[in-house]
Chains A and B, each alone.
Chain A
């Protein structure tokens, strides 16, 4: 109650100032009048009575001031006054205000844009129920540690192991599995390839996601002959089915199955590990996939039991794993279970990029602040007289500082407002620059925008920056003797605290921009090194696409082989096509099957067999791809027949790992998944290729003839004479000619694959961004240096005049001025190099083919900065050189 009245009174004092003032006048006047009356009553003459009363009352005005103080609104009023005054001041110097606001807007805008993305990717909780309890699990072979870092992408488990985990684990509330899938959707309109995912029926309940329409999968809907049920994503439901609620219960044709739509997912649903799938179906696997423990293909997520943490879960899984290893030494002997928070699987790759970018853009903001502080201090120097006069008239230091802060807050808020606009566009551009395929694996980035958290970040940045660059000139007020200022405006030479602070700011700016330039240089060098890397095959004019042959229409290997031969013949006959071949996995895309094998004469313990990637390729594959032959021979058409001799080809990395120092061709190996597997002879050794990604290590690979293990999903590689993208139409027509039901799945040129690959993107993106940040930083720093040196020259006009009058040559003057700038630059470069040496280590995971302390980058960046800084100093130096001693001496 009382608090309310207080607020009301304050508000009244604040907003009805006139009437409050009037009342105060009237009240004191009343008092005065009564005093006069009393004096008259005691027999004074009227004039005397009034004078006496005024004497008793003392300074009326002072009382009024005290009464106002008591109303406690002075602080706010003063600040409002400062703001008004600040606005007027800005209007008087529009160029200064424009430069400061624009600089800050760029800094704040870039920071906010990056922060939006960082927030969307790293800070915002995943859109599931209690997402911190979600864990991703996988089985890896201990020997996979031998080369390269463990990739979360390759964490898979076999179905029988998953079932055992599920049955034995108590620390997990539930464990769910999923894997990618794809269908040809027939029915309404054109047949369409639909990217899908199959999952155990408890998948959505594990995530804590409920369908928006319809129902979740029922237990038992995961039948091998299925799928018979499907849950659509919200966008696919909108786009393909027009958002019609009656789709629930409707049947659609997926490949050769009639499937019922049972549900639609909520609009915000996303599951990054499966990217941009359009529908989810229950697990429908059969045969080996169900029974073989050594087939590790399923991705597993788990929800920790309520109140559970990952440590006991890890201990329990290790225990379960040990039991499985004892029970199935052949399959599980060399397996260990790996676990990580689900978020790591989703953002693990982009996290270092974003953090480095966030750091870089923070530097830009610091430089922008330093620059504005510098400008403000230079301006404060010009306004010295104004401040001195105001001090003399009774303005306290607090008042002057509050005025300076008000001015800087005006700049900061204008900068922030403009920065918000920049951030809006910036965020969109940041997202747009991400290749579609990658964006699909980071769907959460699509809704990076200025939400309340981002706005709060923007506001805090604004206040902090405003205080940061406003405080420098304000604090400096404390260190100055106002009296001398009034007497003498800027006589003499440079020196004093002010100049030292400004010099320190310029040194810091140069140092920061050096760090950014070094970072940009390292990123660009990594990108060049990556793109220059020979992937081991010829990437030019190469088109790739896949074809899926539905088992209903192509049930047996001979059917598939007949199609394959026919299709390749037709493509070879097309104009502009130089050659055609096929593989199970296109290089640079990763994934694919692995195989366990034993080498004849190299016995290994059961369960400890070697395991490496296996690719099923057509006979002309190596010559078409341009993969060189190292020893032996390529496959020939006789090898690539169903009944042909059992032959394999290996790469150099394979020889290096499994038969070091030996001649591999002619050696025999045997696949160990079944005792009935025959020995296969190594026909030849080929060069290594970058298989999983452009930056991946050379992994051992086995190649086997396609027609000896014909799969329903075939990926074709086509070498064209001209632009490979132009051949898609003809290829599609050829396919339709054979079977109108078939479609070309994900046609991509190799150039597109390279451009969209994470390894390239993860370098190109930061190269581009840090590069622009560094350019901006350098411009700001050089402008700051230029401003400081110009100012110093103008301050030293008299000194320079005397020097010239005493016979200094223009060379001496230039040396003097440039020397001052060079000293600052050298210090900045020195500090920057030291800072960069320790900071670039943080971006090591992003670098490729270049050391974090690459001397050529450090050297050239230091040189670049020095040269640019010298040029910035040379302009004021020339002005100094032309100083006319007569004018300079008369100047005072």
Chain B
């Protein structure tokens, strides 16, 4: 398997927001979920994940809460806020525009 591609700058925020948009998750679960859904293509480094989570929390797009996991341990769960949902829609739209544009160029040549 090739080395996982580094995430395009700025897309990590979108991935995180999207991943927790269905239900609150803790950091580990977010990383695992992104890895699974992308079929191991995207591996989020812890070194980027946690600072990103703290930044998003600071922006007010996600809110953190300590809750017990299914195994009974306490973990910090992140949930999307109303502002966060709006932000996600914005970033999603931007991403779609960008990827569609890149697609066009890539397939044209």
Interface-located stretch among A21-29, A412-420, A793-801: A21-29
Contacts of A57 in B (CB 8 A): 46-47
| Residue B100 at the chain A interface, CB threshold 8 Å | no
**Residue among A30, A33, A57 with most chain B CB within 10 A:** A30
Interface-located stretch among A60-68, A487-495, A532-540, A703-711: A60-68
Interface-located stretch among A2-10, A100-108, A768-776: A2-10
Contacts of A17 in B (CB 8 A): none
How big is chain B's contact interface, by range? 20 to 34
Please state if B55 and A70 are interface contacts (CB–CB under 8 Å): yes
Question: When chains A and B are docked, how far (Å) is the Cα of A28 from the Cα of B26?
Answer: 11
| Residue A74 at the chain B interface, CB threshold 8 Å | no
In this complex, how many residues of chain A approach chain B with their Cβ under 8 Å: the count is 27
| Residue B40 at the chain A interface, CB threshold 8 Å | no
Q: Decide if the interface of chain B is mainly helix, strand, loop or mixed.
A: helix
Please state if B76 and A66 are interface contacts (CB–CB under 8 Å): no
| Residue B97 at the chain A interface, CB threshold 8 Å | no
Please state if A56 and B46 are interface contacts (CB–CB under 8 Å): yes
Closest to A58 in B: B47
Please state if A63 and B50 are interface contacts (CB–CB under 8 Å): yes
Give the shortest distance, in Å, between A42 (CB) and chain B (any CB): 14
Please state if B51 and A6 are interface contacts (CB–CB under 8 Å): no
Whether A26 contacts B76 in the complex (CB less than 8 A), given A56-B46, A58-B47, A69-B51, comes out as yes
When each residue 59-100 of chain B gets 1 if its CB lies under 8 Å from chain A and 0 otherwise, what string results? 110000010000001111000010100000000000000000
Please state if B51 and A9 are interface contacts (CB–CB under 8 Å): no
Please state if A23 and B58 are interface contacts (CB–CB under 8 Å): no
Contacts of A480 in B (CB 8 A): none
Please state if B57 and A28 are interface contacts (CB–CB under 8 Å): no
Please state if B76 and A63 are interface contacts (CB–CB under 8 Å): no
Please state if B58 and A10 are interface contacts (CB–CB under 8 Å): yes
Please state if B51 and A27 are interface contacts (CB–CB under 8 Å): no
**Residue among B51, B55, B73 with most chain A CB within 10 A:** B51
Question: When chains A and B are docked, how far (Å) is the Cα of A71 from the Cα of B74?
Answer: 22
Please state if A30 and B47 are interface contacts (CB–CB under 8 Å): no
Please state if A70 and B54 are interface contacts (CB–CB under 8 Å): yes
| Residue A736 at the chain B interface, CB threshold 8 Å | no
Contact among A2, A3, A23, A31 for B46, CB-based, below 8 A: A31
Question: When chains A and B are docked, how far (Å) is the Cα of A1 from the Cα of B47?
Answer: 30
Please state if A30 and B46 are interface contacts (CB–CB under 8 Å): no
Question: When chains A and B are docked, how far (Å) is the Cα of A35 from the Cα of B81?
Answer: 28
Give the shortest distance, in Å, between A19 (CB) and chain B (any CB): 11
Contacts of B31 in A (CB 8 A): 31
Contacts of B55 in A (CB 8 A): 70
Please state if A2 and B83 are interface contacts (CB–CB under 8 Å): yes
| Residue A72 at the chain B interface, CB threshold 8 Å | yes
Please state if B76 and A6 are interface contacts (CB–CB under 8 Å): no
Question: When chains A and B are docked, how far (Å) is the Cα of A34 from the Cα of B32?
Answer: 11
Please state if A67 and B58 are interface contacts (CB–CB under 8 Å): no
The 5 closest A-B pairs by CB, nearest first: A70-B54, A70-B55, A2-B60, A66-B51, A34-B28
Please state if B76 and A67 are interface contacts (CB–CB under 8 Å): no
Contact among A6, A33, A58 for B58, CB-based, below 8 A: A6
Contacts of B58 in A (CB 8 A): 6, 9-10, 70-72
Can you list 12 A-B contacts (CB < 8 A)?
Answer: A30-B26, A30-B28, A30-B73, A31-B50, A34-B28, A57-B47, A58-B45, A66-B47, A67-B50, A67-B51, A67-B54, A70-B51
Closest to B54 in A: A70
Closest to A13 in B: B58
Contacts of B27 in A (CB 8 A): 27, 30-31
Contacts of A3 in B (CB 8 A): 60
Within 8 A of B (CB), among A863-891: none
Please state if A28 and B50 are interface contacts (CB–CB under 8 Å): yes
- A-B contact sample (14 more), CB < 8 A, given A6-B59, A9-B58: A1-B83, A6-B58, A10-B58, A23-B76, A26-B74, A27-B27, A30-B26, A31-B46, A56-B46, A63-B50, A63-B51, A66-B50, A67-B54, A69-B51
**Residue among A5, A34, A62, A67 with most chain B CB within 10 A:** A34
Question: When chains A and B are docked, how far (Å) is the Cα of A33 from the Cα of B69?
Answer: 13
Please state if A27 and B50 are interface contacts (CB–CB under 8 Å): yes
Contacts of A5 in B (CB 8 A): 60
Question: When chains A and B are docked, how far (Å) is the Cα of A33 from the Cα of B26?
Answer: 13
Closest to B83 in A: A2
Contacts of B28 in A (CB 8 A): 30-31, 34-35
Question: When chains A and B are docked, how far (Å) is the Cα of A99 from the Cα of B74?
Answer: 57
Contacts of B60 in A (CB 8 A): 2-3, 5-6, 9
Contacts of A23 in B (CB 8 A): 66, 76
Give the shortest distance, in Å, between A354 (CB) and chain B (any CB): 51
Please state if B83 and A9 are interface contacts (CB–CB under 8 Å): no
Contacts of A2 in B (CB 8 A): 60, 81, 83
Give the shortest distance, in Å, between B7 (CB) and chain A (any CB): 16
Contacts of A71 in B (CB 8 A): 54, 58
Contacts of A6 in B (CB 8 A): 58-60
Closest to A23 in B: B76
Contacts of B26 in A (CB 8 A): 27, 30
Contacts of B66 in A (CB 8 A): 23
Question: When chains A and B are docked, how far (Å) is the Cα of A284 from the Cα of B16?
Answer: 89
Contacts of A27 in B (CB 8 A): 26-27, 50, 75-76
Contacts of B45 in A (CB 8 A): 58
Whether A30 contacts B75 in the complex (CB less than 8 A), given A2-B83, A9-B58, comes out as yes
Please state if A63 and B46 are interface contacts (CB–CB under 8 Å): yes
When each residue 21-58 of chain B gets 1 if its CB lies under 8 Å from chain A and 0 otherwise, what string results? 00000111001000000000000011100111011011
Give the shortest distance, in Å, between B6 (CB) and chain A (any CB): 15
Closest to A62 in B: B47
Contacts of A34 in B (CB 8 A): 28
Question: When chains A and B are docked, how far (Å) is the Cα of A58 from the Cα of B26?
Answer: 19
Question: When chains A and B are docked, how far (Å) is the Cα of A58 from the Cα of B49?
Answer: 13
Give the shortest distance, in Å, between A67 (CB) and chain B (any CB): 5
Give the shortest distance, in Å, between A1 (CB) and chain B (any CB): 8
Give the shortest distance, in Å, between B63 (CB) and chain A (any CB): 8
Give the shortest distance, in Å, between A58 (CB) and chain B (any CB): 6
When each residue 31-42 of chain A gets 1 if its CB lies under 8 Å from chain B and 0 otherwise, what string results? 101110000000
Give the shortest distance, in Å, between B87 (CB) and chain A (any CB): 10
Contacts of B54 in A (CB 8 A): 67, 70-71
Closest to B51 in A: A66
Closest to B87 in A: A2
Question: When chains A and B are docked, how far (Å) is the Cα of A618 from the Cα of B85?
Answer: 100
Question: When chains A and B are docked, how far (Å) is the Cα of A27 from the Cα of B45?
Answer: 15
**Residue among A1, A2, A26, A62 with most chain B CB within 10 A:** A2
Question: When chains A and B are docked, how far (Å) is the Cα of A580 from the Cα of B82?
Answer: 97
Give the shortest distance, in Å, between A436 (CB) and chain B (any CB): 64
Give the shortest distance, in Å, between B27 (CB) and chain A (any CB): 6
Give the shortest distance, in Å, between A56 (CB) and chain B (any CB): 7
Give the shortest distance, in Å, between B54 (CB) and chain A (any CB): 4
